[in-house]
Structure 1
Amino acid sequence: MGKRILEIQAVSSPLRAAFAISRGAKTRAETVLITLTEGAATGRGECVPYGRYGETVEGVVASIEAIRPELEGGLDRAALQTLLPPGAARCAVDCALWDLEAKLTGKPVWQLAGLPQPKPLETAVTISLDTPVAMAAAAKTTSGKLLKLKLGGPEDLERVEAVHAARPDARLIVDANEGLGADQLPAMASAAARLGVVLIEQPFPAGQDAGLMRRPGPVAICADESAHTSADLQDLARRYDAVNVKLDKAGGLTEALAMVREARACGLGVMIGCMVAGSVSMAPAVLLAGLADAADVDGPLWLKEDVANGLKYSDGMVMPPDAALWG
């Protein structure tokens, strides 16, 4: 085995439009991209440091830099799981190690990981938080039949009604990002079915979701901010119907695979989600989504410019990544 070389790069990518959720808006995707080179093979991994979890670009870079000796000395994925905690830094490293193994062995990641052979996949396409009129207008120009609406305010039901009126053909995921009031959920849940809503995501703040033990209505409730690793899921299964598995939270594809398996064992539905980032970040999630009930992997669509050989999207579908991109 040749010497392994680590490179770390902070990347700031302008967005096509402001991306707004209940906690605020942003106009750039701030990510950390790493490469691991061994001989002629190079593996890449990208992550999104997320302020909601106390992460910063500088902190993630420092965490990866701190394990440079181990990484360049041949650290494997199993050892990585104990060396770094779940989160963005471990995600970038874990995904780079998967990609590097694929390049060194000539076997694609989906085979190495025991995933289904990739095929075109439906993805939710996100409508950013705005006024009901603006969200309805955005929905009219958004392709695909599965739309994810960002909520977070007193006009939330009006937002859903406006989008459904504009796109009665679409199935809707409503995502409150912890911003829905306890008094709002019953009305949202009871109206959901007639408004085309198939999933309500993280209505209440993590740790304040005991009220979901008696959740109203027929529409499934999905955990996002409440769920980070496989260790969380048995407890969450008492309050939620499904879980949003994100590689950045889990700490990479390795733990995300474990989360999907544990979710199934707990009787939970599975959605594979993403942060706003480019195709290097999204590619492992697209492969993992072959095991899921739904996918929300539209991150690159928000970027003004993606990487070379990026994922291809068409009419709400995403094509599998090719080896030139990842895996």
Structure 2
Amino acid sequence: MHRSLAARHDRFLLTRPFRISRGVKTEADLVTVTIRAGALEGRGEGVPYARYGESVESSLEAIEGIRPAIEAGAGREELLSLLPAGAARNAVDCALWDLEAREAGRSVAELIGAPEPGPLASALTIVIDTPMMMGVAARRAAAAPLLKVKVDGRLPDAQIRAVRNAAPDSRLIVDPNESWDARLVEAMQPVLAELRVDLLEQPVSAEIDACLEAFEHRVPIAADESIHTSAELDVVARRYEVVNVKLDKAGGLTEGLRLANAARARGLGLMTGCMVSSSLSIAAALHIARMSDFADLDGPLWLAKDHPGGVEDRDGTLYPPIKGFWGTP
């Protein structure tokens, strides 16, 4: 059956600034792909990220370049060689998964051979601010089982302490977004252990992370910017204990599943993350999250308006979208 592919730029305003060490976002710019076959359509979403040299314009251009192949019937396996890992491939891959599920009359979970995603603990993010204001934000979210604390290299000790004091029972992920150096990572190990931090995420730049091999980690460290696909696991496994699988880095659920399974086979821990995105991104990521030790999928919670029927948060427990939203017939 003939297919048609369409890709567009969608912009979602945020309810408040999303501030990390790399900068501040007040809106989310996304690429949405729709692939139609007869009366059925599949949707997918990608979030281009400047850290990886991506933009909405470059992603749309890349998708347009492969449109003839997809419309001629190319599937998810062929897509792996048509586009590199990244947001553009993620949007197309997830649209193909959605369409495949609808054509088969089976859910994506059934196609994978896995349980359907259910409610799970997903981190609520405390963005960078003064320690006092981060404590205020953490107090509001203290009922959540898992918090993610964004820090930089200036006041990480005070920022993390403020959050821990305000949320004494929550598990904590600390995320410097590559803003620390090797000396600070090592110096912070006793502080992280004292404050019962469960995970330190990508503390140093991916370009210098060989330094993480030089000392014992008292708190597990997760690779984020340092890992995109399963091809990088040999190096990553020497430096990190946990791998953060993001579909926008892996280039879709197809490679995301391969990366997750390969990481597990090596004895590495798993985390599922996201960009600031809509529920269309999260619906696919839930299939990685169900097998992960940590989930950080609160991207849609920052949007002023999400897609109807999307994910729902209740005090840090994330509930999947309604049936038929994505990946279910």
Q: Which TM class, normalised by the smaller chain length?
A: over 0.9
- Letter of the aligned partner of 1:199 in structure 2? L
Q: How much does 1:320 deviate?
A: 2.3
| Matched-pair contact (CA < 8 Å) for 2:213–2:238 | yes
Q: How much does 1:220 deviate?
A: 0.3
- Equivalence for 1:297: 297
- Equivalence for 1:165: 165
Unmatched 5+ residue regions in structure 1?
A: none
* Inter-partner Cα distance in structure 2 for 1:45 and 1:177: 26
Q: How much does 1:217 deviate?
A: 4.2
Matched, 1:20 2:41: no
Q: How much does 1:194 deviate?
A: 2.3
| Matched-pair contact (CA < 8 Å) for 2:30–2:45 | yes
Matched, 1:127 2:119: no
* Inter-partner Cα distance in structure 2 for 1:114 and 1:89: 26
- Equivalence for 2:71: 72
- Letter of the aligned partner of 1:260 in structure 2? A
1:8-157 map, 5 Å? 8-142=7-141, 143-157=143-157
Q: How much does 1:116 deviate?
A: 2.6
* Inter-partner Cα distance in structure 2 for 1:118 and 1:57: 30
* Inter-partner Cα distance in structure 2 for 1:87 and 1:185: 28
3-state SS of the aligned residue for 2:28?
strand
- Letter of the aligned partner of 2:164 in structure 1? H
Unmatched 5+ residue regions in structure 2?
A: none
Cα root mean square deviation, aligned: 1.1
* Inter-partner Cα distance in structure 2 for 1:323 and 1:58: 32
* Inter-partner Cα distance in structure 1 for 2:288 and 2:264: 14
Number of residue equivalences: 326
Render the CA deviation track for 1:268-305: whole Å, top value 9, x for unaligned: 10001000000001111112211111111111000000
Matched, 1:254 2:254: yes
- Equivalence for 1:241: 241
Render the CA deviation track for 1:225-244: whole Å, top value 9, x for unaligned: 00010011121111100010
* Inter-partner Cα distance in structure 2 for 1:98 and 1:162: 43
Render the CA deviation track for 1:164-218: whole Å, top value 9, x for unaligned: 1111111110001100122221232111122121000001100201221133442
* Inter-partner Cα distance in structure 2 for 1:225 and 1:243: 10
- Letter of the aligned partner of 1:222 in structure 2? A
Percent same amino acid among aligned pairs? 51
- Letter of the aligned partner of 1:56 in structure 2? S
- Equivalence for 1:276: 276
- Letter of the aligned partner of 2:37 in structure 1? E
